[in-house]
Amino acid sequence: MPQKYDEASRPIGVFDSGVGGLTVVKELNKLLPNEKIVYFGDTGRVPYGNKSRETIIHYSLQVAYFLMKKKIKMLVVACNTASSVSLPTLKRHFHIPIIGVIEPGAKTAIETTKTGKIGVIGTLGTVRSNSYKKALKKIKKNVNVLQDPCPLFVHLAEDGWNKNKIAQMVSDEYLKIFEGKGIDTLILGCTHYPLLKDVIQRSVGKKVQLIDSGKETAKEVEQILSKKSLLNPYKMTEKNHSVFYVSDFPHKFKEVSQRFLSKELKHVHKVIL
Ligand code: DGL
């Protein structure tokens, strides 16, 4: 097998603090159906959103070392909190393409906004890090950014309460801070939030465009792999499939993943890092 083919047939590593990163996997599967994924969900230590910087970096490095041993060709940090905090450290440690979800989301938001007023919702960690604000201002200096942490959304999504009236009430309460502020674009800056898209849209009104970072990240993965001639030339088969690792509760992960991917995952394993 030519060396380049060998490299291209390796999996893409994807990690998240839990199941939320599956929203990115869903987009990757849609756009790049030939790509094998090795996923790690840190279900034993979720949430990352309320942990300190040092702890998030420590966890991210541990997970990345684990995925590197699986001979991945690229790493996608499919967690907004870990992307906000750990990306520079990960890039210093490993020499394969590594991307997070912040920059792709920010780029699309700038392309979308007409008023130059953008809202960002995410975990406490993401909002405190100002990662979206910095990424947005790096592209366009005079953009106006209004941020709001919505920590309860993660639990609502995990428990499947993403479309009921409780979800709508929570969403209305969180998002009323955007009322009358003139934002026309709202970044869903947390991997879980696309599951609450309908209620969020109702809270902010139809005129506000919602940006799903997962979708944009998948597009960026395709661009990078294609530029480096690393798109998998082989089709996926029964033997040659994506694999999912978690640090705890594989059964719960399987159950919740149905909600995220609308299909059952067969290959879920528990590992202790
Ligand atoms: N995956 C996390 C994120 O996108 C949300 C859950 C957590 O707090 O760990 O920020």
Locate the ligand 1 atom nearest the alpha carbon of residue 81 and give its number. Answer: 10
The whole-number pLDDT of residue 229 equals 95
Q: What is the predicted pLDDT for the residue at 169?
A: 98
> What's the CA angle centered on 213, arms 254 and 72, to 5 degrees?
60
pTM of the model: 0.92
Mean pLDDT across the chain, nearest whole number? 94
Return the pLDDT at 160: 86
Overall size of the chain counted in residues: 273
**How many angstroms separate the alpha carbon of residue 233 from the centre of ligand 1?**
33
Identify the pLDDT of residue 4.
Answer: 65
The residue whose C-alpha atom lies closest to atom 5 belonging to ligand 1 is: 190
Encoded tokens for 15 = 């990690």
Mean pLDDT by 10 residues, the chain (273 residues): 75 95 94 96 94 96 98 97 96 97 96 97 94 97 97 90 96 97 96 95 97 92 96 75 94 89 90 93
Residues within 6 Å of ligand 1 by CB: 16-17, 20, 46-49, 79-81, 123, 126, 154, 190-192
* Residues with active-site annotation: 79, 190
Name all domains of the chain by residue range, CATH numbers in brackets: 2-101+215-270 (3.40.50.1860), 102-213 (3.40.50.1860)
